[in-house]
C-alpha cells in the first residue's frame, strides 16, 4: 500500500466546470419564466450544471444516503442523550426501515448504505456488508486518549475513500452524507473548536438526542480536555483526526475528499458532517465547491463550521435527529432544481440570431 499523502488532494480536486455554469446561466436568461422568480433554485440549477459538466442538467435519479457508524468512548462520561455504546440500535433502525432517515430515504429514492467503522458490538450481530470496513470496536475516549492510532486513522480514511470510489463507479450522481453515532457530536465539537480557534463553550450544543444542563457541562468539559490534546497536532490533519475524531468521522472526511476527486456532489447533514467537511477543507481548499449544506440543525458548532467553509444551509427547520435526516429533507429541493433547470422551456437562440444571419446571407 502506498503512503497516504493528504497534500495530493489539493492537486487532484478541481473546481466544478465554470464554463458549464456560464452556459447554464445563459440558458436561464432565455427561459420563459420571469427572471429571479425561482430564487435559490436557479443557483442550485447552475451549480448542478457545473458539477455534472452538462447543460441542461440530467435528473438526479441515482441518489445514495451514506451513513458512517461508530461509538465514541467519550459517551461514557454522560455527554449524550443516548447510552454509551448504543449506536448499534441506530444502525438496526435504519436497516429495519423504522428510523426517520430510513423513512425519508425510502420516500425520496435515496437508498441508505450503512458503514460500520467503530460500533461497540460483535460484528456477527450485523450484516457483513455493514461491518466489512470496521477499524475497531469503539473509538477512544478523546478527553484522555487518542480516538485512534495513526494506523487506524489511515485505515479509516482509506475506507472512506474506497466507498466514495465505489459509489462513483456505480453511477451515483448525488450523495446524502450522515452519521449513526453516540458521542459523535462531542468529537465534532472538539474538531470544530480546534480548527476555528474557539473555546469549548462556544461550540457545545445539546446533541441530536438532547441533553440536560448537567450533561451539557460534562460535554463542555470533555471538549475542553480534547482541545488540549488537539491543538498540538493542528498542522497534521490525519493526526488531528486520530486524536479527536474517531473512525466514523475520519472515514467521512476521506469520503468527502475522494468524492470531490471523483466529481460526486454531496449534501451535508448536521454538525458531524460539517466537522468532517471543515477538516477536508483544510486539506483541499477547492473541495467545498462539491458540497451543499442541507440544513441548519441549531448546533452552534455546525453554524461555526459552515460559516468557515462558506456554505449556506438550504433549510432551517432545526432538525437534530442526525442520521442524514436534515440533508434528506433538502434532497427534494435539489431534485426540483434539477428538473426545473432541465425542463422549463427557453427561447431558441436561432430566433434571436435570425436578423444577423439574414444580413450575412445578403
Summarised one tens digit per residue, pLDDT across range 132-186 is: 999 999 999 999 999 999 999 999 999 999 999 999 999 999 999 999 999 999 9
Residue 225 included in any domain:
yes
Cα 83 to chain centroid distance, Å, stands at 25
Examine the domain organization and report whether 134 and 256 are in the same domain. yes
Examine the domain organization and report whether 13 and 150 are in the same domain. no
Asked whether the predicted pLDDT for residue 362 surpasses 80, the reply is no
Q: What is the pLDDT of residues 49-63, one digit of tens each?
A: 999 999 999 999 999
Confidence bin at 115 (pLDDT 50/70/90): very high
Looking at the 3D structure of the chain, how many domains does it have? 2
Examine the domain organization and report whether 148 and 88 are in the same domain. yes
Q: Read off the pTM.
A: 0.94
Instruction: With both helix axes pointing from N to C terminus, report the angle between 271-283 and 300-309 in degrees, rounded to the nearest 10.
Output: 30
Rounded Cα distance between 326 and 101, Å, is 8
Examine the domain organization and report whether 78 and 38 are in the same domain. no
Examine the domain organization and report whether 244 and 292 are in the same domain. yes
For residue 352, indicate whether it is catalytic.
no
Q: Are 251 and 154 in contact (CB under 8 A)?
A: no
Examine the domain organization and report whether 298 and 188 are in the same domain. yes
Give me the pLDDT at residue 320, please.
85
Asked whether the predicted pLDDT for residue 101 surpasses 70, the reply is yes
Rounded Cα distance between 87 and 323, Å, is 11
Q: Specify the CATH number for the domain of residue 30.
A: 1.10.1610
Give me the pLDDT at residue 209, please.
62
Marked catalytic residue, from 154, 167, 299, 323: 323
Rounded Cα distance between 69 and 43, Å, is 33
The answer to whether the peptide bond before residue 150 is cis (omega within 30 degrees of 0) is no
Residue 266 included in any domain:
yes
Q: Specify the CATH number for the domain of residue 259.
A: 3.40.50.10210
Residue 223 included in any domain:
yes
> For the chain, what is the mean pLDDT?
93
Residue 2 included in any domain:
no
Examine the domain organization and report whether 221 and 256 are in the same domain. yes
Residue 34 included in any domain:
yes
Confidence bin at 257 (pLDDT 50/70/90): very high
Residue 27 belongs to domain spanning: 8-58+341-361
Asked whether the predicted pLDDT for residue 1 surpasses 50, the reply is no
Average pLDDT over residues 236-265: 98
Strands 110-118 and 63-71: parallel
Asked whether the predicted pLDDT for residue 353 surpasses 80, the reply is no
Q: What is the pLDDT of residues 310-340, one digit of tens each?
A: 999 999 988 888 899 999 999 999 999 999 9
Nearest to 178 by CA among 86, 344, 294, 74: 294
Q: Are 298 and 318 in contact (CB under 8 A)?
A: yes
Amino acid at each position: 500500500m502506498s503512503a497516504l499523502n493528504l497534500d495530493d488532494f489539493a492537486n487532484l480536486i478541481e473546481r466544478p466546470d465554470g464554463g458549464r455554469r456560464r452556459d447554464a446561466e445563459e440558458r436561464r436568461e432565455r427561459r420563459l419564466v420571469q427572471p429571479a422568480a425561482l430564487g435559490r433554485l436557479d443557483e442550485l440549477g447552475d451549480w448542478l450544471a457545473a458539477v455534472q459538466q452538462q447543460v441542461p442538467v440530467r435528473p438526479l435519479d441515482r441518489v445514495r444516503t451514506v451513513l458512517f457508524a461508530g461509538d465514541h468512548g467519550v459517551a461514557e462520561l454522560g455527554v449524550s442523550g443516548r447510552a454509551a455504546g448504543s449506536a448499534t440500535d441506530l444502525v438496526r433502525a435504519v436497516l429495519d426501515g423504522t428510523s426517520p432517515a430510513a423513512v425519508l430515504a425510502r420516500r425520496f429514492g435515496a437508498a441508505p448504505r450503512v458503514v460500520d467503522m467503530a460500533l461497540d458490538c460483535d460484528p456477527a450481530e450485523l450484516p457483513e456488508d455493514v461491518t466489512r470496513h470496521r477499524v475497531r470496536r469503539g473509538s477512544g475516549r478523546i478527553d484522555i486518549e487518542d480516538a485512534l492510532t495513526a494506523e487506524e486513522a489511515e485505515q479509516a480514511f482509506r475506507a472512506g475513500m474506497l466507498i466514495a470510489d465505489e459509489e462513483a463507479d456505480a453511477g451515483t450522481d448525488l450523495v446524502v452524507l450522515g452519521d449513526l453515532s453516540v458521542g459523535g457530536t462531542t468529537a465534532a465539537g472538539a474538531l470544530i473548536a480546534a480548527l476555528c480557534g474557539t473555546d469549548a463553550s462556544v461550540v457545545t450544543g445539546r446533541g441530536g438526542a438532547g441533553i440536560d444542563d448537567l450533561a451539557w457541562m460534562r460535554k463542555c468539559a470533555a471538549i475542553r480536555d480534547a482541545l488540549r490534546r488537539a491543538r498540538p497536532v493542528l498542522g497534521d490533519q490525519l493526526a488531528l483526526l486520530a486524536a479527536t475524531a474517531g473512525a466514523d468521522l475520519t472515514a467521512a472526511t476521506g469520503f468527502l475528499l475522494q468524492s470531490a476527486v471523483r466529481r460526486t456532489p454531496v449534501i451535508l447533514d448536521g454538525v458531524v458532517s460539517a466537522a468532517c467537511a471543515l477538516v477536508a477543507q483544510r486539506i483541499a481548499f477547492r473541495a467545498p465547491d462539491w458540497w451543499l449544506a442541507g440544513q441548519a440543525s441549531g448546533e452552534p458548532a455546525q453554524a461555526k463550521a459552515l460559516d468557515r467553509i462558506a456554505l449556506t444551509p438550504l433549510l432551517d427547520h432545526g432538525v437534530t435527529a442526525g442520521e442524514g435526516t436534515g440533508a434528506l429533507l433538502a434532497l427534494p429541493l435539489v431534485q426540483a432544481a434539477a428538473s426545473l433547470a432541465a425542463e422549463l422551456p427557453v427561447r431558441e437562440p436561432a430566433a434571436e440570431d435570425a436578423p444577423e444571419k439574414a444580413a450575412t446571407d445578403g
